[in-house]
Structure formats: structure tokens, C-alpha cells
Amino acid sequence: MRPRRNEPISNDKKTPGLPARTAALRLLDAVCRRGETLDQAMAGAIAKLHNPSDRSLAHNIAANVLRWMTALDAMIDSATRKRLPDDAKARMALRIALVQVLVLETPQHAAIATALPLVHGGPRRLVHGVFSTVMRGLETGKLALPEYPQLPGETWDRWVDRWGEETALAAGQAWSQPPPLDLSFRDDKQNSLDGETLADRHVRMTSGQSVTTLPDFDGGRFWVQDLAASLPARLLGDGTGKTILDLCAAPGGKTMQLAAAGWTVQAIDSSAKRLDRLRENLARTQLDAEIITADLMQWAPSEPADALLLDAPCSATGIFRRHPDVLHCIGAHQIADRAEVQKMLLNRVAPWVKPGGQLVYAVCSLEPEEGEDQMDEFLDSHPDYRLIPITQDQLPPAIAPTAEGYIRTLPTMLADKGHCDGFFIANLRRKDRT
Ligand SMILES: C[S@@+](CC[C@H](N)C(=O)[O-])C[C@H]1O[C@@H](n2cnc3c(N)ncnc32)[C@H](O)[C@@H]1O
């Protein structure tokens, strides 16, 4: 539609490629200033971007700015006399322009032409000047992007303190690329996919592939699930003739594993929207589970189950590869908050397992407060539970149990094959009454 006379033509329409960059700026603003997750921010951005390639470019720019922010900021700071405030629009526009040149291989002229309108009415000359200075620095070799992203300072300090420098460096390496595509399978039948099998019923494809275009996706034999995320349900083994409470179940990767292993599953989650995805997943894979929308702090089962899987809400710092926003948003305060929620959930659900039954606790977090410390406290305060140490024969070869018998997947594991998510998993048994 032609603009009406006197109606200003928006910059978006005059500059090709600008809508995606404007959306990237909005996404980054939502994450860095309003504390939204990138996924939440994407939901808002999608309404404004009709072209799927613009959506994926906007997401790609924002995700890579979040990954490379420390290095981009160091370059920007090397080219300014007075440091730009962290939340200045000019800094964000520069990060967006630089990441395109340095990581996404966008030509310089396109990167700067689409960055300048982002600071409309603001310091365009400054942005242009800093961009040009950085480009010269790159040409002369004075500046260079490091091989891997550096973690944000607080995360770096925390992880060096908890896991050591080698692990923190491996996390930077893991952060540099979107993760490979891991698939879990419903059964042991042969498949025709061209990937690597790292465990039973698992195939790892290279990243960048879209799952919906893989052969037999509609046949429902597999679903996307990181190898580490598949470990909690593996510990529960064959469930034929037995009941399980799958608590905090949505969107349902573990529910499908449990149903495929023969368990009679009640899958409970408080998010109706996430449970809709679980329903779709079950329909596609032709697997069965009873779905209950409920807050676990209000709901209770009519009788205890043979087993229970609590995949508790957590800081999610273990899934930083696919959610690059998480390391910018999570600090000591949020970790303490989540640990408190996990403690309440564990205390509430502990009586829901039959005597002699199994409780598997999992979090996709790299914070001991949500894992090892949580279990120490739980076992101290619940003498009716004991730890069943996990052994190597229950795990893929690349993942070793800890000395205590927990699973603690770290960024150093599977580093030559694309890494895996950071999980903590504990296997407990409720003592028999006798
Ligand atoms: C780590 S995710 C679960 C992932 C899931 N188990 C899977 O494998 O796909 C945590 C889930 O906990 C749910 N949740 C958080 N607090 C809850 C509560 N009080 N009651 C029930 N579900 C809750 C969230 O909605 C979220 O879906």
C-alpha cells in the first residue's frame, strides 16, 4: 500500500533489512533492560515481523550479541574517549552492527547502514565514528574477536570458583555455537538419519538442521531432547505395570521417554500453554499420559506412586547454549530464589512416593545451590530417603557420575562433539516401612 500524502515514510520501509535490525534492538532491550527471556521477547517481536527470514535474522543477531557481548563491548570501549553507558542505544546499535560484521559475515556497509537509523535523532556521528575506528583496528590487526565468547563477569567468577577455569573456558567454547540437534527415539528400531548415536534411542545431528524437515518427523518416532536432558528418565528404566508422577512435565521430553518405557504417567505442570505443547508432542508420537494442569503447591495425588520425577524449575544456567540470554539475567539473587522454590517442592512431593519407590530429582542448572547443596539438605531432613549412587553402566561413555553418585554434566563433557546441557541429577529411594 502506498503511503498517503503527508504520511511520513518509516525508515523501516526506506532501508532494506532495517525491520530485522529494529526487531533485534527491541529483543535486546527486552532482555537487557526489562529482564525478559529471549523467547518471551521473540513472542512479542513475531507480531511485528511478518517475514520469517526477518524473524530468524532478528533472533540470530540478538542471540549472537548476547553471546559475544563482552568482546564487542571491549572493542567499543577501545574506540571511545568517554565510556558509553551500558544501556545507551548507541552502544546497542554498535553491538548489533559489529556482531553482523564479525560473526554473521554481513558486509560492513550493510551493517552500518542498518545500524544508524536505530539511533535516529541520537548520536549517529558517534556511532559511525566508533564503527569506523573498530573496522580500522580489525584491518590493522590491533583488534580481533577472541576465538570463543567470554562469559559475563559474574558468571565467569562464579563458575571459576565452583568448577575451575578449564570448565569456565569450555563454557565459553560451548557458547560460541548453537547446540547440535539431539533426538530421542520412541523405540529401538533402526532409523535412517545421518547422525551419531551417543546412547540408546539417541541420535545427534549437526546444528542448523530443522527437525520438522527430517525424514519421518510426522511419523512421530523421535523428538528433540538434549542428551543430558534425557538422562533423568533413563535412570527410571522399564516402567511396565508401574505408576509415575512426572512433576513439572511440560513441554514433555521426559514424559514421552517415560511413556515409551511403559510407565503409566501422570504429567503435571502449572503452565497450560506449555502443556498444550506436551499434548501436541504426545499426539505426534502416539504416546499416552494423563495431563493435569495444576500448581504442585496446591495439588496432591490421590495415592502415592511407584516413582516420581521432579524436573524442578531452576535458573536454567545449564541450557545457556540455546538460551544465550540466561547468563546475562541470572545472578546470586535469582539462584537463591530458585533454590528456595526447589526446596519447597521437594518437601511437598517427598510423601508422594510409595515406600520402596524411586525419586529422581533433576535441574538444568550449573549452580550447586540448586543441585548438590539441595540434595545434601534434602537427605539430612528426610531420613526416609537414601541416595542410590548412579553408576557408569547407567550412563553414556562420555558422561561419568560424580564421586558421590550424582550426575553433574559440565561444559567440558562431549566438547569435541558439540557439548551437552548442564544438568544435575540425583537418584533416591524411599526406604521400605519394614
Ligand atoms: C524444567 S521445566 C520442565 C521440563 C520438562 N520436564 C521436560 O522434560 O520437557 C520446569 C517446569 O516447571 C513448571 N512449574 C514451575 N513451577 C511449578 C509449580 N509450582 N507447579 C507445577 N509446575 C511448575 C514450569 O511450568 C515448567 O514447565
Q: Is 280 near ligand 1, meaning CB less than 6 Å away? A: no
286 with 423, same domain? yes
Reported pTM:
0.93
136 with 237, same domain? no
284 with 410, same domain? yes
Tens digit of pLDDT at every position of the chain (434 positions): 333 333 333 445 567 789 999 999 999 999 999 989 999 999 887 777 888 899 999 999 999 999 999 999 999 999 999 999 988 999 999 999 999 999 999 999 999 999 999 998 889 999 999 999 999 999 999 999 999 999 999 999 999 999 999 999 999 999 998 899 999 999 988 888 889 999 999 999 986 778 988 888 888 999 999 999 999 999 999 999 999 999 999 999 999 999 999 999 999 999 999 999 999 999 999 999 999 999 999 999 999 999 999 999 999 999 999 999 999 999 999 999 999 999 999 999 999 999 999 999 999 999 999 999 999 999 999 999 999 999 999 999 999 999 999 999 999 999 999 999 999 999 999 999 76
Q: Which of 78, 108, 140 is the last residue of a domain?
A: 140
248 is catalytic: no
Residue 273 sits in a domain whose CATH number is 3.40.50.150
> In residues, how long is the chain?
434
The reply to whether 71 falls in a domain is yes
Number of domains in the chain: 2
With the most atoms of ligand 1 within 8 angstroms of its CB, the residue from 258, 266, 268, 270 to mutate is 270
- Which ligand 1 atom is at minimum distance from the Cα of 252? 9
The reply to whether 188 falls in a domain is no
Residue 18 sits in a domain whose CATH number is 1.10.940.10
Which pLDDT value is given to residue 209?
Answer: 77
Closest CA to 365 of 398, 407, 396: 407
CA dist list (Å): 257 to 236, 287, 314? 10, 9, 21
If one counts every other C-beta atom within 10 angstroms of the C-beta of residue 133, the result is 17
Q: What domain range includes position 284? A: 227-430
Query: What residue's CA is closest to ligand 1, atom 2?
Result: 313
135 with 231, same domain? no
Cα–Cα dist 201/187, whole Å: 7
Q: Is 338 near ligand 1, meaning CB less than 6 Å away? A: no
The H or E element containing residue 427 is strand 424-430
Q: Is 357 near ligand 1, meaning CB less than 6 Å away? A: no
Which pLDDT value is given to residue 88?
Answer: 93
Which pLDDT value is given to residue 4?
Answer: 36
The reply to whether 171 falls in a domain is no
CA dist list (Å): 349 to 88, 195, 341, 346? 46, 39, 12, 5
Class of residue 279 by CB neighbours under 10 A (exposed 0-12, middle 13-18, buried 19+) = middle
Q: Which of 115, 140, 165 is the last residue of a domain?
A: 140
232 with 352, same domain? yes
